[in-house]
Amino acid sequence: MPSEVLVFDMDGVLVDVTESYREAIRQTVSYFTGREIGHDAIQGLKNAGGWNNDWALAHHVIRGHGVAVDYEDVVARFQEIFFGDGQSGLASREKWVPRAGLLERLGQRFRLAIFTGRTREEAQMTLNRFAADVNFDPIIADEDVVHGKPAPDGLRKIAALTGLTQIWYVGDTVDDARSAKAAGARFIGIASESSPRQAELQALFAAENAFAVLSDINQLEGVL
């Protein structure tokens, strides 16, 4: 019986969301403002911290361009872009990052769990598509916590549900790192080579005392 919990964030860790969530931010901003925001600028906001929620980030950028729009309208447009008609939405562009067998091997040593800022529907949709046979338990999504990342609520909830206090958290943002630190969990950062600000992100993880900083989740076994 595993005595430690290995917790994964989803976006940027298990799933490459460059052409899904990140692109949905870009298209939502363009829809309301007629102006473009690049991936570098989006990553800059993520690196600044406090923008784990993509809906809130898009709303912030739109208002920064002087456009007054209700938050609920931004969310509705974002979701329309993301889901489309179920086949043509940006969700279909997501790419699964772990190679075959990685999670199964890790599951022999650790209890696997997820703490994500996604809604439960969106998290389960992707897991059903790519990892239906992998047992993540528990899965803590956006609606399961009062305070999202960088608050430690989700990780503390996982500790309470599993009864295990040795927790690792694998994430790709400074908010993930700060959530882990506040929860007393060990943090492993993912700073992808495709990130427009990889070096900056690596430095931020080091400043947050990350146990390790990787460019790909498939390197995880080497540091554990």
The per-residue pLDDT for range 207-223, each reduced to its tens digit, is 999 999 999 999 999 99
User: Beta partners for 4?
Assistant: 166
pLDDT at residue 163, as a whole number: 96
pLDDT at residue 1, as a whole number: 75
pLDDT at residue 14, as a whole number: 98
pLDDT at residue 101, as a whole number: 96
Q: Which two structure tokens, joined as six digits, stand for 105?
A: 């091997």
CA–CA distances in Å: residue 119 to residues 11, 18, 43, 90, 124: 12, 18, 21, 16, 9
Q: How long, in residues, is the chain?
A: 224
pLDDT, tens only, 145-157:
999 999 999 999 9
- pLDDT tens digits in sequence order for the chain, 224 residues long: 789 999 999 999 999 999 999 999 999 999 999 999 999 999 999 999 999 999 999 999 999 999 999 999 999 999 999 999 867 899 999 999 999 999 999 999 999 999 999 999 999 999 999 999 999 999 999 999 999 999 999 999 999 999 998 999 999 999 999 999 999 999 999 999 988 899 999 999 999 999 999 999 999 999 99
Residues 23 and 90: their CA atoms lie apart, in Å, by 8
- At 16, which helix (H) or strand (E)? strand 15-16
Q: Count other Cβ atoms within 10 Å, centred on residue 142.
A: 19
Name the pairing type of β-strands 95-96 and 15-16. Answer: antiparallel
CA-based R_g, the chain, Å: 17
Whether residue 77 contacts residue 3, with contact meaning beta carbons closer than 8 Å, is answered with: no
Q: Which two structure tokens, joined as six digits, stand for 199?
A: 């070096």
pLDDT at residue 53, as a whole number: 95
pLDDT at residue 52, as a whole number: 93
User: Domains (ranges, CATH) in the chain?
Assistant: 4-17+95-223 (3.40.50.1000), 21-92 (no CATH)
pLDDT at residue 194, as a whole number: 86
